[in-house]
Structure 1
Amino acid sequence: MRYIRFFVFTLLAFCLTACSAQAQTPVQKHGDLRISGKHVIDKNGAVTSLAGPSFFWSNTGWGQDRFYTRGAVETFAKDWRAGIVRVAVGAQNDGSILKDRRGNLKRAQTVIEAAIDNGLYVIVDWHSHQAENDVKEAQAFFTHIAKRYGHNPNIIYEIYNEPLDTTDWKWVIKPYAEVMIKTIRQVDPDNLIIVGTQSWATEVDKAADDPIRGQKNILYALHFYAATHKEFVREKAEYAIKKGLPLIISEWGSVTYSGDGYIDIESSIEWMKFAKKHGLTHLNWAVSDKDETASMLKPGASSHGGWQEKDLTVSGRLAREIMRNW
């Protein structure tokens, strides 16, 4: 009987330990992220690659701001098994944070705080194609975010979504980034900062030839839309990686660059192999029920998560499957 009790208690202790390990959130598991060479590594020095969704533009009145809810984040954390989410704070056009600061900031903070509570990493993205036109506004925004949340290891700053193909890396994007990095580092000395790259974040080779110097924990955005961007963009990324540039796929879609068009599953799989090979984090566009093929959700899906298979589009089902198995 004594041996039976010993066996039962040993088995129970093992189960509790295993269950505790399984219950770890991504942030509990990985802790503070940092850059080492061309990789993002965690508190244990392990190369860290996460998968998650990107929310749609937060702009007031665009219709997709309704998904900026705690329930949506909890669904991504618990059902989709995401490790990270991206808050796309609209910083241009009608309804943006430049026009409705209170509304956009409130939505962003809802998702940020839900991500922190669920142990997810969260990219706070200044979602603009012309961020150099609004430097003071961007500085004020990131100063606010850094002061309020920068002490959390969850926070990652993305200072420029997708510069245009005509927006020069050397003369515009890089100087803007250096100003923004300095602004954030005055408050938050450690958390990762993502720098946008030329041509809608596809020409990472230009950044690799002229990277930002003298700063730590900086990485560079690589975006792709699988039906448009194929081997020619991966070749640029391979070049950048070989030169030691740390990359993150902070936005990708399974469709064409427009966010619509046909869904290229084969190309998406090739890109996921690339991300796995190089240990890259990636976030799928977009948490939306807009009538375009990049949207994860079908029209009328709940704003508060809890989605079932019938609520997901083809893109949504593909993204969920990738996240759950990453």
Structure 2
Amino acid sequence: MKLLLSSCLFIASLYVTSVFSKDALEEPVSKHGQLAVNGVNLVNQYGEKVQLKGMGLFWSIWMPYFYNKTTVDGIKNYCHSNIVRPMVAVDTISGGYLTDPDYEDALVDAVIDAAIEDDIYVLVDWQDFEAENHLEASLTFFDRISKKYGGYPNIIYEPYNEPITLEWSSLVKPYHEAVIKTIRANDPDNLIVLGTPNYSTRLDMAVADPVLNQTNIMYSLHFYAGTQKEANRQIAKNAIDAGLPVFVTEYGTVNADASPPVDAAEAELWYSFMDEYNLSYVNFAISDKDEGAAALIPGTTPENVCQEAYLTESGKLVVAHNKA
């Protein structure tokens, strides 16, 4: 009886692993096609649960040298990713979309084109903390992107990276509704992931007042393992239990200010949680900056992106889970 029970438990564990966590390199767009939201789950064109795992780039304004196909190739093949996240800098002291939209458009288009060619998904992030103050620019940007790329199943939209404000119902939600309307005029199907208050940590606010009468909408959760811990997982669990579809569009293995050390123990708790609930997740960041959150050692070039010898402690942990 004990032998039979042990065998059953082993088989069950294999089944859970096969359903909820796979090597993302083996899960491309050509396999899963058009994504959709079914209840709290992200599903593929066949209605099967799918999990995206991959890498986010650094802010476009500061690391444009990674906004190219060589980098995307490395992210897919060596970081074992089926998704890449370009971060369109909007308004910084160094410039951004508000200063030079043509330059930012060219950077993000290069990444999108590379992702399509490489058969992976691409999460187009409007990297802003006060996007409600830049609505017209956002509408212009997402109108162009959805017109040009809305026919590709690779595309996922993230219209608001990390709202600082806690005013969900009066500020953030109306902003999202305006951008959704613009995107849906050109692209009725592709996934849109909505940022939540307090740097995309307050899913509970969206639970209390969700966007209504829309399909293929998810809500963004961000965490950094050294800072956001069990209390944040409980907020996420409560939101999922309440029926809110969640997508981890940004996470780090270190502190929220990107500083070391890597909190491997807490990161493992997050990975277990995300895999249990079939959450997709994108790491911050493909960066060679000398900081804890960087996946690459200083001086890494696009040709060496995600190769083992160029990964930091954080990068190695992340890749191991992209492959799991």
TM-score where L is the length of structure 2? 0.90
Aligned to 1:268: 267
1:287 and 1:80 map into 2 onto residues whose CA distance is 10
Aligned to 2:196: 197
* Contact 1:159–1:194 (8 Å) recurs in 2: yes
Aligned to 1:221: 220
Kindly state the Cα deviation for residue 210 of structure 1 after the two structures are TM-superposed. 0.8
Aligned to 1:111: 111
Kindly state the Cα deviation for residue 186 of structure 1 after the two structures are TM-superposed. 0.6
The one-character-per-residue Cα deviations of 1:29-50 (angstroms, maximum 9, x if unpaired) are 1110001111111111111111
Is the alpha carbon distance of 1:185 and 1:262 closer, same or farther for their aligned partners in structure 2, counting shifts above 3 Å? same
Kindly state the Cα deviation for residue 23 of structure 1 after the two structures are TM-superposed. 9.5
Kindly state the Cα deviation for residue 305 of structure 1 after the two structures are TM-superposed. 3.8
Q: Which moved more, 1:255-264 or 1:193-202?
A: 255-264
Q: Which moved more, 1:128-137 or 1:96-105?
A: 96-105
1:289 and 1:218 map into 2 onto residues whose CA distance is 33
Aligned to 1:297: 296
Aligned to 1:288: 287
**Secondary structure, in 3 states, of the residue corresponding to 2:317?**
helix
* Contact 2:129–2:163 (8 Å) recurs in 1: yes
**Secondary structure, in 3 states, of the residue corresponding to 1:186?**
helix
The one-character-per-residue Cα deviations of 1:117-139 (angstroms, maximum 9, x if unpaired) are 01100000100000001100000
1:44 and 1:140 map into 2 onto residues whose CA distance is 33
2:85 and 2:235 map into 1 onto residues whose CA distance is 24
1:86-125 matches, within 5 Å, as: 86-93=85-92, 94-125=94-125
* Contact 1:70–1:304 (8 Å) recurs in 2: no
**Secondary structure, in 3 states, of the residue corresponding to 1:219?**
strand
The one-character-per-residue Cα deviations of 1:21-70 (angstroms, maximum 9, x if unpaired) are x99761011110001111111111111111000001111xx2x2211110
Q: Percent identical across equivalent pairs?
A: 40
Aligned to 2:131: 131
2:284 and 2:38 map into 1 onto residues whose CA distance is 27
Give runs of ≥4 in structure 1 deviating > 4 Å: 22-25
Kindly state the Cα deviation for residue 156 of structure 1 after the two structures are TM-superposed. 0.3
2:139 and 2:249 map into 1 onto residues whose CA distance is 21
Kindly state the Cα deviation for residue 304 of structure 1 after the two structures are TM-superposed. 3.4
Amino acid paired to 1:112: I
**Secondary structure, in 3 states, of the residue corresponding to 2:59?**
coil
Aligned to 2:208: 209
Kindly state the Cα deviation for residue 75 of structure 1 after the two structures are TM-superposed. 1.1
Aligned to 2:79: 80
Aligned to 2:154: 154
Q: Which runs of 5+ in 2 are unaligned?
A: 1-23
Amino acid paired to 2:82: G
1:232 and 1:252 map into 2 onto residues whose CA distance is 16
Is the alpha carbon distance of 1:154 and 1:225 closer, same or farther for their aligned partners in structure 2, counting shifts above 3 Å? same
**Secondary structure, in 3 states, of the residue corresponding to 2:84?**
strand
* Contact 1:89–1:108 (8 Å) recurs in 2: yes
Aligned to 2:56: 54
Kindly state the Cα deviation for residue 306 of structure 1 after the two structures are TM-superposed. 5.0
| Residue 174 of structure 1 pairs with residue 173 of structure 2 | yes
Is the alpha carbon distance of 1:270 and 1:307 closer, same or farther for their aligned partners in structure 2, counting shifts above 3 Å? closer
2:43 aligns with one of 41, 44, 49: 41
Give the paired residue count.
Answer: 300
Aligned residues: CA RMSD: 1.4
* Contact 2:72–2:114 (8 Å) recurs in 1: yes
Aligned to 2:31: 29
1:229 and 1:84 map into 2 onto residues whose CA distance is 23
* Contact 2:75–2:306 (8 Å) recurs in 1: no
TM-score where L is the length of structure 1? 0.89
2:39 and 2:238 map into 1 onto residues whose CA distance is 15
Q: Which runs of 5+ in 1 are unaligned?
A: 1-21
Amino acid paired to 1:76: I
Is the alpha carbon distance of 1:213 and 1:307 closer, same or farther for their aligned partners in structure 2, counting shifts above 3 Å? closer
Kindly state the Cα deviation for residue 251 of structure 1 after the two structures are TM-superposed. 0.1
Aligned to 2:141: 141
**Secondary structure, in 3 states, of the residue corresponding to 1:124?**
strand
The one-character-per-residue Cα deviations of 1:199-254 (angstroms, maximum 9, x if unpaired) are 10001011011100001000000000000000000111011101100000000000
**Secondary structure, in 3 states, of the residue corresponding to 1:56?**
strand
The one-character-per-residue Cα deviations of 1:125-172 (angstroms, maximum 9, x if unpaired) are 1000000011000000001101111100000000000001x3411111
| Residue 320 of structure 1 pairs with residue 319 of structure 2 | yes
Is the alpha carbon distance of 1:270 and 1:196 closer, same or farther for their aligned partners in structure 2, counting shifts above 3 Å? same
Kindly state the Cα deviation for residue 79 of structure 1 after the two structures are TM-superposed. 2.2
